[in-house]
C-alpha cells in the first residue's frame, strides 16, 4: 500500500506557502511514490474532514503564487474549536474527532506549515498520537530556532519598495513621512525594512521610544539641511512608560489582539511638537500579499524538501529550521512558546546607530 501523508497551512497567509506545497507534493509522489492529502483551511480541514488529494499537476505553476491554494485559518484550533450557533460563539475540544479522521485516512504523518500558533497545536497533537512535522512560516520572523522564516524577506521587500516611493513625497514636500509596518510583538520587519529603505528613525517594540528623542532627531536633520524625514514604526512599537496600541480584538482567535495605530499618534505629535508637516501610511496586509521573493521561494523549497525527508526517516515532532546556511531540524517544542525578538545587540542596530539612524532612545 502507498504511504499517505497530509499537509496543511495554518495561521496568517504569506508568500512562499505554495512553494512548500509544491515541493512536498512533487517529491513525495515522484521520489517516494506517496500520496499527498491537502487539508483545507488549516486545522479546520482536519477537524471537519475536508481535504483533497494533491497531484503533481495540482501544484504545477504555483511556485510564484502568493497565499495558499489550500486556504488557511488562524481560529481553527482542534482543542478549542469555535462553533457559531444562532450567532453565539462557543468552543469545543474536537481533537479526538481530528484524530479519528487522521486514523481513518491512514496518514503516516502531517506536515503543518505555520507560525507559533500552528506549531503549538502540532506539538499538542503529537502528544495525542499524531505524527507531525513542522515548517516555519511568518512574515514576522519571530519563531525561535530558525534564523529566518519564509515570508519575511518578501514582506521586507514590499516595505523597502514602499519606502522608496514615500521618499519622493517626503523630499518634494519637506514632510515627515511615517510608515507603519507589521510584525506583532517583534521589530524584525521594521528593522530590516527600515535599514533597506533608508529610514531616518526606526522604532521597534524591543526599544521603547522617547517622543522627545524622535522630535529632536527630526529637528536636528532640518538644521543640517535635510528638510524631510522618514520614520519606520513597527505596529508593536510603543513609547517608554506607554503601551502598545490595540486596533482590534478578533473574537475566536487564539491570539485575539491586533496591533495598529501608532503611526497616527506619532504623526499628530510630530506635527504639533516640531511644526513640520507629517503624513502616515499603514502598509497593513500589502506586506503579506503577492509573489514571494527569490530568497523566499528557495527557502520555502528547501524547507518543504527537508520536512519530507524527516517523514521518510520517521523523525517526527521536528521542525525544519534555517541555521546559518544549513537546513537543520529541531524539536517543535524548542520553536514555540516565547517569541524570537530582535536582540538589543543585533548588528543592524549597531550599524544603524553608526549611520546616525535614531532608534528613539
Ligand atoms: O503574524 C502575521 C501578521 O500579519 C502580523 O504581522 C499582524 O499583526 C497580524 O498577522 C495581522 O493579523 P490578521 O491578518 O488576522 O489581521
pLDDT at residue 252 tops 80: no
Alpha helix (H) residue ranges in the chain: 17-32, 43-47, 95-104, 116-128, 152-173, 188-196, 211-223, 262-274, 294-313, 332-335, 347-354
Q: How confident is residue 278, by pLDDT bands cut at 50, 70 and 90?
A: very high
Q: How confident is residue 204, by pLDDT bands cut at 50, 70 and 90?
A: very high
Nearest CA owner, ligand 1 atom 8: 184
pLDDT of 14-69, one tens digit each? 999 999 999 999 999 999 999 999 999 999 999 999 999 999 999 999 999 999 99
pTM of the model: 0.97
> Which atom in ligand 1 lies closest to the alpha carbon of residue 139?
2
Output the pLDDT for position 284: 98
Cell of 167: 521618499
Question: Where is average pLDDT lowest: 74-88, 215-229, 258-272, 280-294?
Answer: 74-88
Å from CA of 309 to ligand 1 middle: 30
**Any ligand 1 atom below 6 A from CB of 259:** yes
Q: How confident is residue 146, by pLDDT bands cut at 50, 70 and 90?
A: very high
Output the pLDDT for position 1: 82
Give the contacts of 248 (CB within 8 A, at least 6 positions apart).
Answer: 258, 260
**Any ligand 1 atom below 6 A from CB of 139:** yes
Q: What does the pLDDT average to over 256-278?
A: 97
Nearest CA owner, ligand 1 atom 14: 12
What is the CB-side half-sphere exposure of residue 49 using CA atoms within 13 A? 10
Output the pLDDT for position 238: 98
Output the pLDDT for position 94: 98
Q: Is 315 a catalytic residue?
A: no
- DSSP for 19-61 reads HHHHHHHHHHHHHH--EEEEETTTHHHHHTT-EEEE-TTTTTT
**Any ligand 1 atom below 6 A from CB of 140:** yes
Q: What does the DSSP 8-state code read for residue 292?
A: P
pLDDT of 282-324, one tens digit each? 999 999 999 999 999 999 999 999 999 999 999 999 999 999 9
Cα–Cα distance for residue pair 315/279, rounded to 1 Å: 52
pLDDT of 163-173, one tens digit each? 999 999 999 99
Nearest CA owner, ligand 1 atom 10: 12
End-to-end CA distance of the chain: 63
pLDDT of 334-343, one tens digit each? 999 999 999 9
Output the pLDDT for position 248: 95
- Biggest CA-to-CA distance, the chain: 75
| Average pLDDT of the chain to the nearest whole number | 97
- Which of 71, 155, 184, 261 is the best mutation target for the ligand 1 pocket, counting ligand atoms within 8 Å of the beta carbon and taking the most? 184
Nearest to 111 by CA among 13, 11, 42: 42
Output the pLDDT for position 251: 80
**Any ligand 1 atom below 6 A from CB of 137:** no
Output the pLDDT for position 322: 98
- Which of 16, 192, 258 is the best mutation target for the ligand 1 pocket, counting ligand atoms within 8 Å of the beta carbon and taking the most? 258
Amino acid at each position: 500500500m502507498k504511504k499517505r501523508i497530509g499537509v496543511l497551512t495554518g495561521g496568517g497567509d504569506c508568500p512562499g506557502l505554495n512553494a512548500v506545497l509544491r515541493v512536498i507534493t512533487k517529491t513525495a509522489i515522484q521520489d517516494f511514490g506517496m500520496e499527498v492529502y491537502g487539508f483545507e483551511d488549516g486545522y479546520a480541514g482536519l477537524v471537519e474532514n475536508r481535504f483533497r488529494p494533491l497531484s503533481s499537476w495540482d501544484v504545477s505553476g504555483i511556485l510564484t503564487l502568493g497565499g495558499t491554494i489550500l486556504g488557511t485559518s488562524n481560529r481553527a484550533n482542534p482543542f478549542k474549536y469555535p462553533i457559531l450557533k444562532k450567532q453565539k460563539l462557543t468552543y469545543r475540544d474536537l481533537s479526538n474527532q481530528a484524530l479519528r479522521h487522521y486514523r481513518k485516512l491512514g496518514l503516516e504523518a502531517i506536515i503543518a506549515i505555520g507560525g507559533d500558533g500552528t506549531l503549538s497545536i502540532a506539538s499538542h497533537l503529537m502528544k495525542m498520537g499524531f505524527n507531525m512535522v513542522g515548517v516555519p512560516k511568518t512574515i514576522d520572523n519571530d519563531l525561535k530556532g530558525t534564523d529566518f522564516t519564509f515570508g519575511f524577506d518578501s514582506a521586507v521587500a514590499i516595505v523597502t519598495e514602499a519606502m522608496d516611493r514615500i521618499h519622493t513625497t517626503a523630499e518634494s514636500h519637506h514632510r515627515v513621512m511615517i510608515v507603519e509596518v507589521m510584525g506583532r510583538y517583534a521589530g524584525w520587519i521594521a528593522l530590516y525594512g527600515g535599514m533597506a529603505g533608508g529610514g531616518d528613525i526606526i522604532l521597534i517594540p524591543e526599544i521603547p521610544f522617547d517622543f522627545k528623542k524622535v522630535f529632536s532627531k527630526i529637528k536636528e536633520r532640518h538644521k543640517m539641511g535635510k528638510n524631510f524625514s522618514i520614520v519606520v514604526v513597527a505596529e508593536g512599537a510603543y513609547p517608554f512608560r506607554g503601551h502598545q496600541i490595540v486596533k482590534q480584538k478578533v473574537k475566536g482567535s487564539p491570539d485575539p489582539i491586533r496591533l495598529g495605530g501608532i503611526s497616527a499618534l506619532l504623526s499628530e505629535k510630530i506635527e504639533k511638537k516640531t511644526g513640520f508637516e507629517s503624513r502616515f501610511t499603514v502598509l497593513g496586509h500589502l506586506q503579506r500579499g503577492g509573489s514571494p521573493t527569490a530568497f523566499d521561494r528557495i527557502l520555502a523549497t528547501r524547507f518543504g524538501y527537508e520536512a519530507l525527508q524527516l517523514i521518510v526517516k520517521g523523525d517526527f515532532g521536528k521542525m525544519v529550521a534555517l541555521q546559518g546556511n544549513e537546513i537543520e531540524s529541531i524539536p517543535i517544542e524548542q520553536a514555540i512558546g516565547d517569541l524570537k525578538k530582535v536582540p538589543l545587540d543585533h548588528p543592524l542596530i549597531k550599524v544603524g546607530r553608526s549611520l546616525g539612524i535614531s532608534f528613539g532612545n
